[in-house]
Structure 1
Amino acid sequence: MNKWAIGIITIVLIIAGAVYAIYEANDYDYDDSTKKYKIVKKWELPAELNEVSGIYWINDNRIACVQDEDGILFVYDLKSSKIIKQYKFAGPGDYEALSFLNGEFWVVESNGKLYKVPNLMGAEKDAEEFSLNFEYRNNIEGLAANSDGNLLLSVKERNLDNRGDYKGIYAFDPRTKKLNMDPVIKINYNDPAFNVLQTENPRKLIRPSDLAFHPVSKELYVLDAEFQKVLILEASGKIRELHLLDPEEFPQPEGICFSPSGRMFISNESLGGPPTLIELKFIK
């Protein structure tokens, strides 16, 4: 290798190091934050739920769970810390979230396919399937039923209009079987609440992994698994609160749900350890 080549490589490495240093200096470090939550209880989930991706409170300390790869709804009992029922509703897929509406469960795949699952207490049967106008590049990971009887779906990647200045949340009406192609909620990247993150990188601002409405306040909670946090939104989409989660406690938070009284649960996929379910409470 001649001196010119060595010189060029050295310069490139110096520039790359400088860029990285600047990036790190202007990037959020969780250790700099003040924790605004406390963990009430933690459950280690069984291996069947290594890829747990969505949760929903049923009743009597039972939580329905879905995991990425199998079309199965698992019923997990908090008191016995065991799976007490499995309900197969479809074949292998990429299932990301679930919700409950009008007496039936709904499950969404990352490509936007929706599955309406009948009563879990009956015999297993294939779910009714709906194909929406989403693509893999949109990457659906959040699902929640609102008070209007619609299902809200959040995109992790691209919006339907390909705009890059907000993250869109879309509505599907189960009565008309139609998807509103315009977002019903926009989380704007210039929201002042994001200033704490010290970055303008959209990937670190918000990439929703799940959605859930608080049963008392009716506010929408948006979970982010990649840069671990929870946003609490006003109806307009403005961020009322932003809560950062410790990556050591929440290595990959993929699901969020509430009990009717407002107990909050977040599930973590297996990432260097067992999958977990954590009950937590935000503090002022």
Structure 2
Amino acid sequence: MRYPLLIFLLALFESCDYSNGKTPPHYSLPHGYRLEAMEKLLLSEDLEEVSGLAWHRDELLAIEDESSIIYRLDPETGKIRKKKKFEKNKDIEDLLVRGDTAWVLRSNGNLYRVVDFREKDSQTVIYPFPRREKRDLEAILANPNEPFIWLFCKVCEWDEDPSRSSFFRFHLETMQFDSLPAGKIERSQLSTLMPQQELEELKIQPSAAAIHPLTGEYFLLSSTGKWLMTLDGQMKPSSVHTLDPSLFKQPEGITFAPDGTLYISNEARDGRANILIFSYRP
């Protein structure tokens, strides 16, 4: 069942000690969403390490990073309706849906195309990532108006340090990757978007991504450092929001319902995995 938030979360006391002169972080969400208007779904043990979310038809889809299963969830209760095994167990990180095809990202950058994933006789095709250097990619998104899938590095050798995250393009017309990054999101782009103290400590290591169905904004989520970023269609950051770690314990998945309702999933860590729900009120 859903659990409405009865206490204004920003008033919660943190255990951090700010006597060293540092200013406590300001927790927020992008325009149209409010922390105090949150609801929560608790997930079953099957989804303790939930690592990705997507919306399809009237359901939430979820994956977890210890098995290659697409879970179909009731968006009102979080209960599992059906499961679909699409591959041997791999380190699975994010997913999206176009039509009746699910695209699933493995941490090494490989993409799984699961055709007719709702059907018993679905087919899985694997598209290997074109580079072999050490890499960890955990976020994908696709603009319905573009024939691409975007993949974001969390920790990739060629990025050299956590101040940047390169992103790649997979072409849906040719079913091929570009071998070089299409661009990078860099800490230097955020200098006017957040306090300098928070910026200096920010690691650009995204763990999930989604596109807002009404505004077209890209949303990029990070479990490392607990932040949520919005970007325009040219991958230019427009806002950065620090997330309360007492609420967003390990945010690894993000998606939207067609009406703009925001869903963010958290791995279990020291409790139960959950999905946090925020209604869109622009």
**Pairwise TM-score range, normalised by the shorter structure:** 0.7 to 0.9
Sequence identity percentage: 27
Aligned counterparts of 1:178 and 1:121: Cα–Cα separation in 2: 25
Contact kept in structure 2, 1:69 and 1:93, CA below 8 Å = yes
Contact kept in structure 1, 2:68 and 2:90, CA below 8 Å = yes
Structure 1 match to 2:269? 271
Aligned counterparts of 2:46 and 2:219: Cα–Cα separation in 1: 27
Structure 1 match to 2:55? 57
The CA deviation string for residues 24-72 of structure 1, in whole angstroms up to 9 with x for no partner, is 756x743xx1544324311001000001000001122x10101101111
CA RMSD across the alignment = 2.6
Aligned counterparts of 2:210 and 2:164: Cα–Cα separation in 1: 19
Structure 1: which 5+ residue stretches go unaligned? 1-20
Structure 2 match to 1:145? 142
The one-letter code of the counterpart of 2:103 is W
Aligned counterparts of 2:195 and 2:167: Cα–Cα separation in 1: 23
- Alignment TM-score, normalising by the size of structure 1: 0.82
Structure 1 match to 2:46? 48
- Which moved further from structure 2: 74-83 or 105-114? 74-83
The 1:84/1:253 distance shift into structure 2, 3 A limit, reads same
Task: Write the mapping of 1:1-284 to structure 2, written as runs, cut at 5 A.
Answer: 29-30=24-25, 33-36=26-29, 37-38=34-35, 39-60=37-58, 62-125=59-122, 127-135=124-132, 137-146=134-143, 147-158=145-156, 160=158, 162=160, 166-191=164-189, 192-193=191-192, 195-196=194-195, 198=197, 204-281=202-279
Number of equivalences = 258
Aligned counterparts of 1:131 and 1:76: Cα–Cα separation in 2: 29
The one-letter code of the counterpart of 1:123 is K
1:226 is displaced (CA, Å) by 1.2
Q: Which has the larger radius of gyration?
A: 1
The 1:63/1:255 distance shift into structure 2, 3 A limit, reads same
Question: Higher helix proportion, which one?
Answer: 1
The CA deviation string for residues 242-277 of structure 1, in whole angstroms up to 9 with x for no partner, is 122111111000000011111111000111010000
Aligned counterparts of 1:80 and 1:164: Cα–Cα separation in 2: 37
Structure 2 match to 1:16? none
1:102 is displaced (CA, Å) by 4.1
Contact kept in structure 1, 2:96 and 2:102, CA below 8 Å = yes
